[in-house]
Structure 1
Amino acid sequence: MTPKQTHTLWHLRRQGLQFEAEIAEQAWSNGREFKPDERAPLKRETLELIDQCNWELTAEAV
């Protein structure tokens, strides 16, 4: 887990989205992108962090 991924998980949990945080943690730990549920009430800042974390995975793969 990168520091940004850990920070993003904190944001998800702070918003009361523990289930989404668990799914994100599993995905990133396994080197996969995390796609949040469209129905989850995510703040724009958190969505941007998720995009950055997913980008980090693709950047590491190259």
Structure 2
Amino acid sequence: MKEKRKKGILIYFGLVMLYFLGCFAFSDYYKGVDEDITLTVLAVSVPIILSLFWTYILEAIKKKL
């Protein structure tokens, strides 16, 4: 089970870095564009999903202790 936990944590950190790099890369592109509801929903929902995944990882670790 240790390998599964390590893999989950690595996937989580990879997704977080990918999200923030994507936000950084597209921030200049969307500066002049009117705010789009799809972009806003995406920018808000991804961190929520990532936090739920992190909570799942922590609960799995807690169960094993």
Query: What TM-score do you get using the length of structure 2 for normalisation?
Result: 0.46
Higher relative contact order (CA 8 A, sep 6+): 2
Query: What TM-score do you get using the length of structure 1 for normalisation?
Result: 0.48
The structure that has the greater radius of gyration is 2
